């Protein structure tokens, strides 16, 4: 609540624009969204962002905000920041076919999370064995709210700590 009241987690720039930052939700290797082996993500049909090849089965909140959706199969979560940015975290590709097997959600729709809060644990080996890919896209689904986006590149990510996107709203 204090974050919302005092605007912590976002910065006001000199020209009055709001800036939002997005951290890595998963530890692993940063992958350009264009390299995700799924045209829905690679062609940015759902929005712009980045992807991570996970090194462990833990997904943390990349932003502070409200959980707006937890898919019944627990492989994807939607978040909305206080400034209105909507983010989709989609663990692996074709993981919907796993029907929730190997996924444990630690949040529910309506929860308020802080950067680094635990969202989902997943069995990385089970995802490797049963999904098309473990690559995890993280996209901004309402890009119309973003005036400018700066992406970090070529990083090994640490969940909840590595800054990956800076947005001007």
Active site residues: 90
Supply 65's token pair.
């905000």
Sequence-ordered list of residues with C-beta below 8 angstroms from that of 129, at least 6 positions apart, any chain = none
Sequence-ordered list of residues with C-beta below 8 angstroms from that of 19, at least 6 positions apart, any chain = 10, 11, 12, 13, 166, 167, 168, 169
> From its phi and psi, is residue 141 left (phi > 0), alpha (psi between -120 and 50) or beta?
alpha
Q: Do 167 and 148 contact (CB within 8 A), yes or no?
A: yes
Supply 56's token pair.
């462990």
């Amino acid at each position: 609540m204090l974050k919302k009241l005092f605007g912590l987690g976002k910065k006001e720039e000199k020209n009055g624009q709001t800036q939002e930052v997005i951290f890595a939700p998963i530890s692993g290797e940063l992958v350009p969204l264009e390299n995700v082996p799924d045209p829905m993500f690679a062609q940015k049909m759902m929005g712009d962002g980045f992807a991570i090849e996970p090194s462990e089965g833990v997904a943390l909140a990349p932003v502070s905000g409200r959980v707006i959706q937890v898919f019944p199969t627990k492989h994807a979560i939607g978040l909305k920041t206080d400034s209105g940015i909507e983010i989709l975290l989609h663990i692996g590709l074709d993981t919907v076919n796993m029907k929730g097997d190997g996924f444990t959600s630690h949040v529910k729709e309506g929860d308020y999370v802080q950067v680094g809060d635990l969202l989902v644990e997943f069995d990385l080996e089970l995802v490797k064995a049963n999904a098309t890919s473990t690559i995890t896209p993280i996209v901004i689904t309402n890009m119309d709210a973003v005036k400018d986006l700066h992406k970090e590149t070529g990083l090994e990510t640490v969940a909840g700590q590595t800054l990956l996107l800076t947005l001007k709203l």
